Amino acid sequence: MILCSNPKAQYLAHKDEIDSAIEAVLSKGQLILGENVHAFEKEFSEYIGSKYCVGVGNGTDALFLAMHAMGLGPGDEVIAPSHTATATIAAISMTGATPILVDVDSIYHTIDPFSISKSITPKTKAVIVVHMYGQAADMDEIVSIVCQNNLRLIEDCAQAPGATHKNRQVGNIGDVGCFSFYPTKNLGALGDGGAIVTSNPSLANKISMLREYGWDKKRISQYSGFNSRLDEIQAAVLRVKLKYLEKDNAKRIALAKKYGEELNQLPLDLVPLRKQCKHIYHLYVIGIDQRNALVTNFKSIGIIAGIHYPVPVHLMPAYKKSTKEGLSLDNTENISKRVLSLPIYPELTESDQSRVINNLKKFFRS
């Protein structure tokens, strides 16, 4: 069986180090907000290039806590792409703010700057960009728009740890960068985990307090806070895997290059590289008219492909009122009908990738 992603293979690749790190945590006995969390926060902020990092319970909480710390809430609007994981939009709703869902561009599948501009109202307070599939959004244009309109810029980097835009790590461009360490991510824990990076000291301090009941150092609640902490075991695992992230991303890039070379003559849409960006291929996405037939064909021979994402968020019952009247989301709707994610992860063998490629070519010959 060839899986679309394979967290178990990622664990086995670093098994001895991970097991030792977990054993050390259990032996010491401090399981919440201990030395591994603090060390990981320092190491990850240095990797991203931000001044601060706050470890939290998951990627959704990262987005929520960042927005809550910014004071976003009822009466405010937050613009975000409809072509994203539902978690992005759920985090907006958790604050009480109103998500305003906009289109993506048809080429890179990232949030469309023109759609952002057309959706701004006096109630708009922030924009969430999603670095889709592991590639940066059009940050020059988006930064210009948010600056002109005095908006907050939040980067959803769940799929993109290690991706760059003009040699800057994503997450270090907007006001905050929010990361998920869900097991399938490029930097994945062995359970849930997340982090927020920023270079704003007051924002970092407030987020750090909000993640644990709004407590200050004397455990006095200065804010009405929450409970969303990255635990010691997951932090220890992430510290091991962070050391290998650049090498693992390089393996993904090599696999993506092979896919591109082998598939560019087939009747498929391939998502190109944005200029002056480093794509780290959390997903390798193609566009295909015969998607359902190919998925069925792949399953019959033990190849599992993914669909990211089959239903745009704005077409889900909970969010059908989250678009501006008259604003088209045609690109998002067309993309959702055709996208397919091929297997890609650092441990994917050459022979297994060749099997995927050869069967894809055979599919079009039959």
| Same-domain pairing of 233 and 249 | no
CB neighbour burial string for 19-35, b if at least 16 within 10 angstroms, e if fewer: eebbeebeeeeeeebbe
CB neighbour burial string for 45-57, b if at least 16 within 10 angstroms, e if fewer: bebbbbebbbbbb
Residue whose C-alpha is closest to residue 156's, from 225, 99, 219: 99
Q: Please give the share of the chain, as a percent, with pLDDT higher than 70.
A: 100
Does the pLDDT value for residue 362 go beyond 90?
yes
Question: How far apart are the C-alpha atoms of 166 and 278, rounded to whole Å?
Answer: 8
Q: pLDDT digit string (tens) for 278-319?
A: 999 999 999 999 999 999 999 999 999 999 999 999 999 999
**pLDDT for 284:** 98
Q: pLDDT digit string (tens) for 180-207?
A: 999 999 999 999 999 999 999 999 999 9
Asked if residue 340 is part of any domain, the answer here is yes
Asked if residue 2 is part of any domain, the answer here is no
**pLDDT for 108:** 98
Mean pLDDT within 136-162? 98
Does the pLDDT value for residue 366 go beyond 90?
no
Asked if residue 180 is part of any domain, the answer here is yes
Asked if residue 1 is part of any domain, the answer here is no
Does the pLDDT value for residue 41 go beyond 90?
yes
Return the number of other C-beta atoms located less than 10 Å from residue 175's C-beta.
18
| Same-domain pairing of 251 and 187 | no
Confidence class for position 15, pLDDT limits 50, 70, 90? very high
Q: Dig out the tokens for 35 from the structure.
A: 């030395």
| Same-domain pairing of 178 and 277 | no
| Same-domain pairing of 220 and 100 | yes
| Same-domain pairing of 265 and 159 | no
**pLDDT for 326:** 86
Does the pLDDT value for residue 325 go beyond 90?
no
Question: How far apart are the C-alpha atoms of 273 and 279, rounded to whole Å?
Answer: 7
Question: How far apart are the C-alpha atoms of 322 and 311, rounded to whole Å?
Answer: 15
User: How many structural domains compose the chain?
Assistant: 2
Q: pLDDT digit string (tens) for 249-275?
A: 999 999 999 999 999 999 999 999 999
Asked if residue 343 is part of any domain, the answer here is yes
- Binning the chain into helix, strand and coil, the percentages to the nearest 5 are 40, 15, 40
| Same-domain pairing of 188 and 228 | yes
| Same-domain pairing of 229 and 250 | no
Final residue before a domain boundary, out of 209, 242, 275: 242
Final residue before a domain boundary, out of 193, 216, 242: 242
| Same-domain pairing of 81 and 205 | yes
> Residue 280: which CATH number?
3.90.1150.10
| Same-domain pairing of 192 and 258 | no
**pLDDT for 265:** 95
Question: How far apart are the C-alpha atoms of 258 and 218, rounded to whole Å?
Answer: 55
| Same-domain pairing of 318 and 348 | yes
Final residue before a domain boundary, out of 242, 274, 303: 242
> Residue 80: which CATH number?
3.40.640.10
* Torsion angles phi and psi, residue 226, rounded to 5: -140, -175
List all residues 6 or more positions away from 119 whose beta carbon is below 8 Å from its beta carbon. 79, 100, 102, 324, 327
Q: pLDDT digit string (tens) for 166-184?
A: 999 999 999 999 999 999 9
Does the pLDDT value for residue 73 go beyond 90?
yes
Average pLDDT, the chain: 98
Return the number of other C-beta atoms located less than 10 Å from residue 224's C-beta.
9
| Same-domain pairing of 44 and 162 | yes
| Same-domain pairing of 231 and 257 | no
Q: Which domain holds residue 18?
A: 7-242
List all residues 6 or more positions away from 240 whose beta carbon is below 8 Å from its beta carbon. 14, 17, 18, 21
